[in-house]
C-alpha cells in the first residue's frame, strides 16, 4: 500500500541528487545545516514544480535530451541555480539568493526573511523585548515544565536577583519541574512528544491498564522507554538502540530499566529500542511481507525524515529491485523507493502478525520470508537483510538503529521536538543559528542528554525573548 502512495505520475520527476548538489552549491544555507532540503524546495509535489523550480527548468542543460540522467542533472544544477540567483521567483520582493541565504523558500511568497534590528529598548515596560528576558522566560518555564504559573512573590523574588542568579534559579526550577507528573507522568509533556512516534490505538491496547477490546500490544512500554531515555541525563539515542526495556511505576511516576518484560518477547540480540517493540512490529509490520511501513515510520519518527514528503532521499545504485513485485521500479516510484527499499531490507526477518504461527508475533524470525511469504513473488526470498541508511551499508536493524542514532538527523529531530513543544513552532530562519548551536551541543558537549540540552534551550532568545 505504501508503495502505491509513493508513485507519482508524470515525466518531470524530482531528482534524488538535487538536495546534495544544492548543499554543495550553498553549503552555508540554513537548509543545509546538518540536513538537506526536501524535493518540495523546488516542487509543489513532484513532478509539479513550484515557481522556483519552474524558473530553474530553462537553465538545466537546455540542449540536452530529456529526461536528464541523474549524472547530467547533478552536473547542470549548479549552473541553473546560479543563473536564477538575482531573480525573485515568488514575487515577494526578495531575490532567490537572499532567500536561500536567509533560510526562507524562494518558491513561496508567504515565506519571507524577517527584518531584524527593529527592536528598541523601552517598547515594553515589563519585559526586555529585545533580548532574553529572565522574568518572561521564568514564567514560561514554569508553565511549560510544571504546568503552573509563577506566583507574584516568585516573580518579585526573581526580579531582585542578579542576572547570573536569575539563570541559576531558572536552572534549579527546570530540574525541579522535570521531576513533576506534568512533565514525566502518563499523558504528560514527554508522552505528548511520544504520541506521533508510537501512534497508539486504544482498541489494540494490551496490558492490564486501559486494555482495549482487541489487545495486541502494550504500547505503554514504548512510552516508558521513550520517557526514560529523555530523563535524568540518560542517553536519548537509546530510544533507538536500547537492549533493555523499561518498567513504569506510578504515584509518583518512576521509570526503571529492566532486562526483560513479560509483554516484550524480542530476544536481546535483535532489540533496537522502540523500533523493535512488540507494538511497533505488530502495528507497523502487521501482515506485510516487505515491512516498508516499519522502516519509513522509524525514519520519520526518530530521524525526522518523511519519505512521503520527498525528505531524506539517498538513492542506492541498482535500487529498487522490487523483490515483492509491488511495482516500485516504475519511473514514477523509483526515485523514492531507491531509498526506501534499502532502508527496509534489514527489517525483512522481523515478524508482525501471522495468523498461522501466533508464537512468531513480534519476534525476529530467521528466514521469515522463506517460511511465510514465498508465495508473494518468485524472487521475494532473494531479499537481502543488508540495507543502507544515509547511503551507508548496514547489515541488520541493530546496525540501522546505531547509524541512525549517531547521525545529525537524530540530533536535529530530537531537538526539533522540544523546540516545537517549548518555543511553539519549528525553528524559523531567524532562529536557525540558535537552533543549530543547540542541536550541535546536544550531540557534542551534552552527549545526548536531553536534560542538559533543555538548560541550553531555555537560554535562547527564541524561548526567552518576549
pTM, to two decimals: 0.87
Please give the full DSSP string across 78-111, using - where no structure is assigned. HHHHHHTTTS-TT-SSS-HHHHHHHT--TT-TT-
| For the chain, domain boundaries | 9-102, 134-177, 288-405, 408-464
Question: SS3 breakdown of the chain: % helix, strand, coil, rounded to 5?
Answer: 45, 5, 45
Q: Which of 314, 304, 384, 308 is nearest to 344 (CA)?
A: 384
- Average the pLDDT over each of 101-110, 246-255, 398-407 and give the range with the smallest value: 101-110
- At residue 119, the pLDDT reads 54
Band of residue 256 on the pLDDT scale cut at 50, 70, 90: very high
Q: Which residues contact 294 (CB under 8 A, 6 or more apart)?
A: 275, 280, 281, 284, 285, 288, 344, 347, 350, 352
User: ∠233-234-237 over CA atoms, to 5°?
Assistant: 130
How large is the average pLDDT for residues 391-420? 97
pLDDT at 310: 83
Nearest to 106 by CA among 40, 35, 18, 192: 40
Q: What is the pLDDT of residues 328-384, one digit of tens each?
A: 999 889 989 999 999 999 999 999 999 999 999 999 999 999 999 999 999 999 999
pLDDT above 90 covers what percent of the chain? 77
Q: Residue 273: left (phi > 0), alpha (psi -120 to 50), or beta?
A: left
pLDDT attached to residue 282: 98
Q: What is the structure's pLDDT at 11?
A: 38
Of 80 and 37, more confident: 80
Question: Which residue carries 491498564 as its cell?
Answer: 209
Using alpha carbons only, what angle is made at residue 344 by residues 343 and 349, rounded to the nearest 5 degrees? 135
Give residue-wise pLDDT tens across range 412-441: 999 999 999 999 999 988 899 999 999 999
pLDDT at 66: 83
Whether residue 316 contacts residue 338, with contact meaning beta carbons closer than 8 Å, is answered with: yes
Lowest mean pLDDT among 52-56, 138-142, 213-217, 411-415: 52-56
Average pLDDT, the chain: 91
Q: Tens digit of pLDDT for each residue in 185-216?
A: 999 999 999 999 999 999 999 999 999 999 99
- State residue 5's pLDDT score: 33
pLDDT given for residue 2 in this prediction: 37
Q: Are 328 and 392 in contact (CB under 8 A)?
A: no
Q: Torsion angle of alpha carbons 121, 125, 126, 131, nearest 10°?
A: 0
The whole-number pLDDT of residue 72 equals: 86
pLDDT in tens, 218-254: 999 999 999 999 999 999 999 999 999 999 999 999 9
Amino acid at each position: 500500500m505504501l508503495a502505491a502512495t509513493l508513485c507519482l505520475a508524470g515525466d518531470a520527476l524530482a531528482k534524488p541528487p538535487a538536495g546534495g548538489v544544492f548543499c554543495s552549491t550553498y553549503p552555508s544555507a540554513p537548509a543545509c545545516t546538518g540536513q538537506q532540503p526536501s524535493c518540495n524546495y523546488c516542487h509543489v509535489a513532484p513532478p509539479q514544480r513550484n515557481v522556483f523550480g519552474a524558473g530553474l527548468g530553462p537553465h538545466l542543460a537546455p540542449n540536452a535530451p530529456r529526461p536528464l540522467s541523474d549524472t547530467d542533472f547533478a552536473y547542470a544544477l549548479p549552473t541553473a541555480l546560479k543563473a536564477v540567483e538575482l531573480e525573485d521567483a515568488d514575487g515577494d520582493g526578495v531575490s532567490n539568493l537572499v532567500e536561500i541565504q536567509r533560510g526562507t523558500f524562494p518558491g513561496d511568497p508567504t515565506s519571507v526573511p524577517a527584518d531584524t534590528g527593529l527592536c528598541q529598548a523601552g517598547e515594553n515596560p515589563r519585559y526586555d523585548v529585545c533580548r532574553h528576558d529572565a522574568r518572561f522566560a521564568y514564567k514560561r518555564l514554569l508553565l511549560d515544565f510544571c504546568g503552573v504559573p509563577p506566583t507574584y512573590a516568585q516573580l518579585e523574588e526573581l526580579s531582585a536577583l542578579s542576572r547570573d542568579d536569575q539563570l541559576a534559579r531558572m536552572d534549579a526550577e527546570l530540574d525541579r519541574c522535570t521531576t513533576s507528573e506534568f512533565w514525566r507522568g502518563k499523558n504528560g509533556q514527554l508522552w505528548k512528544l511520544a504520541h506521533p512516534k508510537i501512534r497508539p490505538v486504544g482498541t489494540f491496547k494490551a496490558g492490564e491498564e486501559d486494555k482495549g477490546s482487541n489487545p495486541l500490544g502494550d504500547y505503554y512500554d514504548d512510552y516508558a522507554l521513550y520517557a526514560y531515555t529523555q530523563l535524568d541525563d540518560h542517553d536519548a539515542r537509546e530510544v533507538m538502540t536500547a537492549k533493555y526495556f523499561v518498567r513504569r511505576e506510578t504515584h509518583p511516576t518512576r521509570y526503571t530499566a529492566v532486562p526483560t518484560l513479560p509483554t516484550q518477547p524480542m530476544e536481546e540480540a535483535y532489540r533496537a529500542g522502540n523500533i523493535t517493540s512488540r507494538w511497533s512490529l505488530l502495528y507497523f509490520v502487521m501482515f506485510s511481507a516487505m515491512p516498508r511501513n516499519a522502516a519509513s515510520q522509524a525514519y520519520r519518527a526518530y530521524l525526522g525524515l518523511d519519505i512521503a514528503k520527498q525528505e531524506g532521499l539517498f538513492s542506492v545504485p541498482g535500487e529498487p529491485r522490487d523483490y515483492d513485485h509491488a511495482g516500485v521500479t516504475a519511473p514514477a516510484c523509483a526515485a523514492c523507493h531507491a531509498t526506501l527499499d534499502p532502508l527496509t531490507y534489514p527489517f525483512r526477518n522481523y515478524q508482525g502478525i501471522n495468523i498461522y504461527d501466533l508464537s512468531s508475533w513480534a519476534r525476529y524470525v530467521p528466514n521469515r520470508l522463506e517460511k511465510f511469504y514465498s508465495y508473494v513473488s518468485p524472487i521475494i526470498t532473494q531479499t537481502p537483510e543488508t540495507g543502507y541508511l544515509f547511503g551507508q551499508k548496514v547489515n541488520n536493524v541493530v546496525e540501522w538503529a546505531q547509524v541512525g542514532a549517531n547521525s545529525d538527523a537524530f540530533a536535529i529531530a530530537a531537538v526539533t521536538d522540544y523546540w516545537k513543544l517549548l518555543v511553539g513552532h519549528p525553528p524559523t530562519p531567524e532562529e536557525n543559528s540558535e537552533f543549530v548551536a543547540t542541536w550541535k551541543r546536544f550531540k557534542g558537549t551534552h552527549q545526548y542528554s536531553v536534560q542538559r540540552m533543555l538548560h541550553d534551550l531555555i537560554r535562547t532568545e527564541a524561548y526567552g525573548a518576549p
